[in-house]
Structure 1
Amino acid sequence: MSRRLRNVTDLLAELVSIPSVNPHGDPGTKLVGEEQMALYLAEFLGELGAEVELKEIRPGRPNVSGIFRTKKAPKRRFAFAPHTDTVSVLGMTISPFDPVIKNGRLYGRGATDTKGPMAAALWALAKWARSRDRIDSETEWTFAGLMGEEAGQEGSKAWGATNFKADLVLVLEPTSMKVVHAHKGATWLTISTKGRACHASIPDEGDNAILAMRRVLEVLEKKVTPYLRRQKHRALGHVTFNIGTIRGGSKINIVPDACEIECDIRTVPGFEGEEVVRLLRREVSKAVPGVKITPAKSAPALEADRSNRWLKLAASTLNGLTVAPWFCDAAFVARPGRPAVAVGPGSIAQAHTKDEFIRIADLERGSEGFLKFIQATQ
């Protein structure tokens, strides 16, 4: 398989041509799941001499890993960890799985997020694995393709819960090759109010759930949001709070008996999801008795130690350090003694877009940068 490929662009074109759309929500295609991508990666890594394992996380949705073992006990361990799924192809203005190269760009779903970074790392590993440096290397490298990042992050949760060792894990995301050493976390939750329905001509006989939600919104605006803005991180800034949706009522002539909002809170190290939920239950429930707060999803914030020698090496070899307001698999992979960062070629501005692309020059520089880092860890 890999012998057909002339360069990293060819490799990315093959990856894009393999549908691996996350099935959550409306994927916009029947070609969902990461299995075919995992099988491709397993074959590619096996050809390079890696010890390959497929581990099913959900039916037809495995993680895949390839470990490049050393002759003796390794002195150092590192890993590349991209996610293998993409977001929905609904609404795309280009053919999502037929990669097109035009004006120095490669177009297709996943070109930037995150098959471009994946291709860059695989191509660098392939060059190293076929070189003399690999023969007596005392550095163990792992490539872990993780399913399900775009919804639920089940792949990284499963892999992160294992006892694998690493001096540094490079979680692959489009960061313009800047090493993201800290990013915000996220807590998603719903807040719902209940009322009593009746005919709109006699509203005093009912209990309007939308009006109850108005009181909730006042508390969120006047008390909760100002408090969260005071919870700050030196690099990431303050906690943010956004109300993304509101639903209530069923018909204009019925007093609504239910109303619900969905909230997105971006947290920082030291003030995570549990603190947010406690704050809301204290302030909102006090103002509006009977309100229900239901956490839906929580992803932790990330903060790697900037003094770590391998993180410093990555920053100097690649494109320096940065932070991000978004969250990714790195927070689920990181453990004490197993730091993780996010890095890769491409721009986050192109992720999830209707005409997703990556600049080929960025892809090539990314692969060259990863190869330099691999060589520097020997």
Structure 2
Amino acid sequence: MSSFDIDRSQLVADLSAMIRTPSVNTFGVESEAGAEAAMADLFETQLRALGLEIGAHEVLKGRRNVWGRLKGTGDGPTILLAGHLDTVGVDGYCGPFEPHVKNGNIYGRGACDMKAGLAAYLEVIRILQRSDAALRGDVIVAGVIDEEHAMAGSTYFGQHGPQLDFAIVAEPTQLEICRAHKGQMLMTLRTTGLAAHSSMPQSGRNAIYHMGAVLTALQSYADDLRARPADPMCGAPSLSVGVIRGGDNACSVPDFCEIDIDRRTIPGESSADVMAELYAVVEQAKQSVPELECVIETPFLDLPPLDTAETSPVMQAVINASMAVIGKSDVTAFPGSSDAPNFACPTVICGAGDLAQCHSLNEYISIVQIEEAISIYTHAILELQTL
């Protein structure tokens, strides 16, 4: 095994400070405080303490991405270490913002998903600053907003942030190396009817009944997706209906009904293809309900699949680093979605922690595994300097 001199006490202190700083995503509801505002302030302070060049941009009201740049000599690749500042909610969680260490693990909301990754990046920078190795390229450490909802932060960063050559995202993978995952499109479908008293339903048009025809067609479409040829890494595409809303009360014929759907895409599928298929689904529903009025809204999340080539230099660097640090390099697909495709450069997902811990009510992560991740990132960055 190959590792670096890691300051565990500093690592735990950094991560504990992050856990103590609530950054719960508001999932589309505006907040005067800004969901990640305090966490962005903390992370900027931590980056400044390392002497990095600081950048920031407000993406949504009161919600900003922050990053720090460790300058190289300018003739090497720019490498991004990226993570999200936000967490999911804490309903039912006892003491979510009170970090504590027990049996080699650190507990608290965000410990695993993914403030450990952000804390790991800080220690990577310290190691690089202490080392004698001259960096040819810049290393950028970024915290972005809104990963848990619509990924507005990484979308904005990819479009308006610094130019990048490679990126590593420290989502929890138990140090498996993920070069691919499905894309994700989230959108609302709405049927419109005509309100009437429920004692005279014939006087109205029931938007919920009409949505039933759409749901039947969507079920057929979902079955078709499961039967399509699977991507070798990501598997088959899929569709799920996750939310339904409609009507005002039981005594009225409902004049509206909405559903939210989740369409997972695989490499080779485009957003335009998916939208065309969904319009065809609505046309199919109209065969049974000719008067159907159904609108498909613009997706509020439109994330392409991640499909980084195994031959990419960043993949090879992380594979070699993993072999050096933990003696193995398991390459797989990430089961969920992430910010990774939005950074518009070859990107690898590899991080400490178990995805099963994410969003749980007893979130924790192994400190030893965070230290292994730190060594992997450092090895990979140093190898990429030789390009």
TM (norm. structure 2) is 0.86
Say if 2:83 and 2:170, in contact at 8 Å, map to a contact too: yes
Q: What are the superposed Cα offsets for residues 88-143 of structure 1, whole Å, 9 maximum, x if unpaired?
A: 22221x3122101123221111101110111122212212212222xx33232111
C-alpha distance in structure 2 between counterparts of 1:163 and 1:34, whole Å: 18
Contact 1:76/1:167 (8 A) holds in 2: yes
Q: Distance in 2 between matches of 1:217 and 1:320?
A: 39
| Cα distance, 1:359–1:30 mapped onto 2, change above 3 Å | farther
Counterpart mapping for 1:217-366 below 5 A? 217-223=215-221, 225-227=223-225, 229-230=227-228, 232-288=230-286, 289-297=292-300, 298-318=302-322, 319-334=329-344, 338-366=345-373
CA shift, 1:238, in A, is 1.1
- C-alpha distance in structure 1 between counterparts of 2:76 and 2:104, whole Å: 40
1:317 to partner: Cα distance: 1.4
Structure 2 residue 23 is the aligned partner of structure 1 residue 20: yes
Equivalent-residue separation in structure 2 for 1:33 and 1:157 (angstroms): 17
Query: Structure 1 residues 46, 5: CA separation in 2 closer, same or farther (over 3 Å shift)?
Result: farther
Deviation of 1:245 after TM superposition, in Å, equals: 1.8
Q: Which runs of 5+ in 2 are unaligned?
A: 1-6, 287-291, 323-328
Q: Which residue of 2 aligns with 1:35?
A: 37
The CA distance in 1 between the partners of 2:335 and 2:177, in whole Å, is 14
Distance change in 2, residues 1:104/1:194 (3 Å): same
- Which residue of 185, 202, 205 corresponds with 1:204? 202
Contact 1:111/1:357 (<8 A) preserved: yes
Relative to 1, partners in 2 of residues 1:31 and 1:86: Cα closer, same or farther, differing over 3 Å?
Answer: farther
| AA aligned opposite 2:69 | I
Greater mean alpha carbon deviation, residues 291-300 or residues 170-179: 291-300
Query: Distance between the aligned counterparts of 1:361 and 1:5, measured in 2?
Result: 9
- Letter matched to residue 311 of structure 1: M
2:289 matched residue in structure 1: none
Contact 2:181 2:305 in 1 (8 A): yes
Question: Residues 5-36 of structure 1: CA distance to partner in whole angstroms, max 9, x if unpaired?
Answer: 73422221122122222233579x99753333
Distance across 1 between alignment mates of 2:293 and 2:170: 44
Tell me how far apart the structure 2 counterparts of residues 58 and 248 of structure 1 sit (CA, whole Å): 29
Report if the CA contact (8 A) 2:222-2:238 is conserved.
no
RMSD: 2.5
Q: Which residue of 2 aligns with 1:109?
A: 109
Corresponding residue SS for 1:43:
helix
Q: Which amino acid aligns with 2:234?
A: L
Give the alignment partner of residue 48 of structure 1, picking from 39, 47, 50.
50
**Cα separation, 2, equivalents of 1:376 and 1:217:** 51
Q: Which runs of 5+ in 1 are unaligned?
A: none
User: What is the identity, as a one-letter code, of the residue corresponding to 1:371?
Assistant: T
Which of 147, 150, 162 is the equivalent residue of 2:148?
Answer: 150
Q: Is the 8 A contact 2:195 2:255 kept in 1?
A: yes
In the other structure, the counterpart of 2:325 is none
Do the aligned residues in 2 keep the contact of 1:128 with 1:374 (CA within 8 Å)? no
Most deviating of 345-354 and 136-145: 136-145
Trace 1:160-171 onto structure 2 (pairs within 5 A).
160-162=158-160, 164-171=162-169
Q: Contact conserved, 2:56 with 2:64, CA < 8 A, in 1?
A: yes
Question: Structure 1 vs Structure 2: percent identity of aligned residues?
Answer: 32
Q: Which amino acid aligns with 2:125?
A: L
TM-score for both structures, normalised by structure 1? 0.88
Distance change (3 Å), C-alpha of 1:103 and 1:243? same
Task: Answer yes or no: is the 8 Å Cα contact 1:224–1:283 preserved in 2.
Answer: no
The whole-number CA distance in structure 2 between the counterparts of 1:35 and 1:194 is 38
